[in-house]
């Protein structure tokens, strides 16, 4: 893909190093593309090499590299961060977006393994990423971390079977706020984003399969549509930019009115 020559919204991002986990599709890929537009050097981390190759092909030539990583595995995350620091010397921005979970079920029938897989996939993964990103950023006394929570981190899950996911996303907000306070005076800003319904591949697939689900999703969103991944990416970029220099700990809610 040719180099993007469009005007830069955040010129301070030129040449900075940005890590996006779960960067091969959906919100992660849209965020990688937005960072690339600003001239950042990208590292996308994910588990699927085929999707990663497709993602890299959509980014400006030479702007990005891919590292295989399971963000729920501490050793895998440690290798990811140490490799970035070794190659690029620093990490300026990190969007902790990657995550996966177990099969959902109502609490009274939810299996323990499914619970742990969901908590590890969405909450422990955020902790592990921050655990290794923060020391890397401390060396330079600067950096921004954005964790991907959800409106379901602010309320109960609207359909049966999502309690573990909501619990994990509530945990991401508590983790974010606490870590933000711990490192506020060290030049490291930590915050979160809480998207509502977004047109990612899984959501679009569910809406196509079931008209009832599609109707329920739209009914929960006063604006009358789901967000595009690009709209969420713009929020992440703003949180990372100097324009949000006073934004700390509190999550940015982008939900089309869902929580209003």
* Measured distance CA(25)–CA(214) in Å, rounded: 21
Output the CA angle 42-47-53, nearest 5 degrees.
Answer: 55
Which H helix or E strand runs over 96? strand 93-96
* Measured distance CA(57)–CA(51) in Å, rounded: 10
SS3 state at 137 = helix
Q: Which two tokens stand for residue 85?
A: 């620091």
Strand partners, 100: none
Output the CA angle 28-32-35, nearest 5 degrees.
Answer: 135
- Is the separation of the CB atoms in 97 and 69 below 8 Å? no
Closest CA to 203 of 194, 189, 216, 191: 216
Closest CA to 39 of 5, 72, 1: 5
Q: Which residues are catalytic?
A: 165
Closest CA to 192 of 120, 243, 252: 252
- Is the separation of the CB atoms in 256 and 225 below 8 Å? yes
Distances (CA, A) of 197 to 3, 61, 158: 31, 31, 11
């Amino acid at each position: 893909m040719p180099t993007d020559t469009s005007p830069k919204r955040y010129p301070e991002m030129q040449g900075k190093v940005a890590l996006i986990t779960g960067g091969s599709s959906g919100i992660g890929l849209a965020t990688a593309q937005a960072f690339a537009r600003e001239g950042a050097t990208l590292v996308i981390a994910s588990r699927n090499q085929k999707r990663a190759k497709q993602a890299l092909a959509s980014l400006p030539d030479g702007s990005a590299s891919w590292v295989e990583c399971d963000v729920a595995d501490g050793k895998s995350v440690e290798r990811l961060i140490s490799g970035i620091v070794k190659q690029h010397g620093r990490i300026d921005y990190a969007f902790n977006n990657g995550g996966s979970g177990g099969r959902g079920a109502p609490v009274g029938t939810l299996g323990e393994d499914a619970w742990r897989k969901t908590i590890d996939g969405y909450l422990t993964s955020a902790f592990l990423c921050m655990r290794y990103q923060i020391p890397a950023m401390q060396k330079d006394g600067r950096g921004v971390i954005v964790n991907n929570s959800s409106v379901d981190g602010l309320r109960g899950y609207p359909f049966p079977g999502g309690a573990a996911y909501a619990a994990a996303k509530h945990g991401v907000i508590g983790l974010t706020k606490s870590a933000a306070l711990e490192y506020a005076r060290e030049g490291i800003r930590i915050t979160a984003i809480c998207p509502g319904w977004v047109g990612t591949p899984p959501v679009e697939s569910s809406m196509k399969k079931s008209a009832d689900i599609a109707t329920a999703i739209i009914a929960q969103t006063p604006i009358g549509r789901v967000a595009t991944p690009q709209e969420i990416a713009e929020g992440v970029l703003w949180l990372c930019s100097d324009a949000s220099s006073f934004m700390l700990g509190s999550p940015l809610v982008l939900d089309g009115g869902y929580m209003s």
